[in-house]
Structure 1
Amino acid sequence: MKTYKDALEYGKQRLLECEIEDANLDAWLLLEYVSGISRSWYFVHEDEEISENDIEEYQILIEQRGKHIPLQQLTKEAYFYGMKFFVNENVLIPRQDTEVLVEQVLSLSKEKENLKLLDMCTGSGCILLALLANLKQASGTGVDLSEKALEVAQRNSKELGIEVSWVQSDLFDKVSGSYDIIVSNPPYIETSVIEGLMDEVKLYEPRMALDGTEDGLFFYREITMQAGKYLKNNGILAFEIGYNQGKAVSEFMKENGYKEVQVLQDLAGLDRVVTGRIEKEEQHV
């Protein structure tokens, strides 16, 4: 294995042998990551010799990917809503489907300024940071039970230059203040389903970010019941949901006094987001 072309062919073949779904793409992305080359550069220089250090690092990464360790955990980066985020084994890898949640919250926030946002179960912080990057003079609080997840979120906010208040808390236990918007992508996979997920997810992503308990709805019930105490009048609660949870979560919201409850679909036509607005009676002193 001497040239860039040899390396890429090795990577493709090895990942195919390991039954990696996107073997060709992942082999290229890891080569790009290791050597810092672009596709256009590669097509002109594919027969040039690759350095021994790059070969060694590339082989190690290919073997790790062959064990189904997620690509993003190997490169320590993931892209979400056009922004680059640091990720590791302590956070859920941002998914494109989640961008539907960001789009909907931004749509509901049009022409509003100085909004206060809270992101419950923030993980890497990608949802909150994407929202703050696209809202005028908004402020945000990110909440997670995992200290290690919050370390990742803090790193992302620092690297992106977006100021956020991060709180380690079991749901709302240590939350204070009132908010215009509460957004959440909580654990929502049924416990019994997790073992049937692809290895990249069930073996390498944090179980606490996946497991929604027996029916997958525990966190939706808890957050919906408590969120009203922390939302301002006409405040918005917005969830990412699993494809089969739209009816149940929208019912929870209606039962807890939310109006204008709607279920939105992702690009595949599957239920992905539920939003609602809460109206509070004015308190006269």
Structure 2
Amino acid sequence: MQTHRELLLEGRKTLEEAGIADSTTDAWLLMEYITGMTRASYFIRENEEMSREQAEKYREMIRRRAQHIPLQHITHEAWFYGLKFYVDEHVLTPRQDTEVLVEEVLLEAGKMQAGSSRSRILDMCTGSGCILLALLSVLKEAEGVGADLSEEALAVAAKNSRELGIPAVWKKSDLFADISGTYDIIVSNPPYIESHVVDSLMEEVRDHEPRMALDGTADGLYFYRRISGEAGEYLKPGGILAFEIGYNQGGSVRLMLQDAGYTEIRVVKDLAGLDRVVLGRKKQEEHHV
């Protein structure tokens, strides 16, 4: 039998030797997941022996992480906007950078609420459903639809909807092909990585996250062109279209929204100072006397 400390050191060493960049952090997070210990309780219990069952489970998880399987795919847990999401190999792992998109949409929604009825939100390429469910966790009166081409991704989104107790509609659709009705807000974090770049991504992303959720075709802009060109038919006058973008795509996506007739277009940076979000407003209908 080994102590918590001995197993933690063993896990860290295994991950270091496998070239895992955050070996110390990941070895601890898996220990925390298996035992439920906080950092404080670990220092009290570090010299206690770990049960055989927990030790075997810990070693197995360390072995999988050493194969560069993402930590979140091993624990099936990812935190986003203060909410715990189930994730697996069928969806992109929610990333903190995407919270900028949620914040900016909430800012716009706040402007729209004055005198408005219940708002409707469409999340295109919804994946795990994290963006839509984060928005609905705040906009409690809003109705939400999450669309994706992947049935496996939609199953994950529906599971998250149930477990978080936040109702939404999940719809299989190739972009707008099976979408009906109009919306106050359309939001999307579409695939935006250039095809030739996907194979150079870190192993955890390249080999373990769904390629269809990463690959934005040759120039990375295919989905922005399609969505910005078609979204106007599904947006109410004055409605918002908001995208997450890659760091080098702000100018291109801004021009797409301009060409599609959107106004009040903004490019927003993330905490690292990189372009992260582009959003614009559909023109209000003109009233002719």
Interval containing the TM-score (normalised by the shorter chain): over 0.9
Superposition TM-score, scaled by structure 1 size:
0.98
The answer to whether 1:272 aligns with 2:276 is yes
Aligned to 2:51: 51
Superposed counterparts of 1:12-161, under 5 Å: 12-110=12-110, 112=113, 114-161=118-165
Aligned to 2:194: 190
CA distance in 2, matches of 1:123, 1:154: 10
What letter matches 1:47 in structure 2?
Answer: N
CA distance in 2, matches of 1:145, 1:24: 37
Tell me how far 1:131 sits from its aligned partner: 0.3
3-state SS of paired residue (2:179): coil
Aligned to 2:206: 202
Tell me how far 1:280 sits from its aligned partner: 4.4
What letter matches 1:48 in structure 2?
Answer: E
Tell me how far 1:136 sits from its aligned partner: 3.8
Aligned to 1:7: 7
What letter matches 1:144 in structure 2?
Answer: D
Aligned to 1:212: 216
Contact 1:114 1:136 in 2 (8 A): no
CA distance in 1, matches of 2:265, 2:275: 13
Structure 1 stretches of at least 4 aligned residues deviating more than 2 Å after TM superposition: 280-284
What letter matches 2:66 in structure 1?
Answer: G
Aligned residue-pair number: 284
RMSD: 1.2
CA distance in 2, matches of 1:53, 1:283: 71
CA distance in 2, matches of 1:28, 1:114: 44
Tell me how far 1:141 sits from its aligned partner: 0.3
CA distance in 2, matches of 1:253, 1:52: 58
CA distance in 1, matches of 2:286, 2:123: 25
Tell me how far 1:53 sits from its aligned partner: 0.7
Of the candidates 146, 166, 169, which is equivalent to residue 170 of structure 2?
166
Tell me how far 1:281 sits from its aligned partner: 2.8
Contact 1:117 1:140 in 2 (8 A): yes
What letter matches 2:17 in structure 1?
Answer: E
Tell me how far 1:114 sits from its aligned partner: 1.4
Tell me how far 1:52 sits from its aligned partner: 0.6
Unpaired runs of at least 5, structure 1: none
Greater shift, 239-248 or 127-136, is seen at 127-136
CA distance in 1, matches of 2:94, 2:80: 6
The Cα offsets for residues 212-266 of structure 1, whole Å up to 9 and x where unpaired, read as: 0000000000000000000000000000000000000000000000001110000
Tell me how far 1:283 sits from its aligned partner: 8.3
What letter matches 2:143 in structure 1?
Answer: S
Identity of aligned residues (%): 58
Aligned to 2:235: 231
CA distance in 2, matches of 1:30, 1:87: 16
What letter matches 1:182 in structure 2?
Answer: I
What letter matches 2:72 in structure 1?
Answer: Q
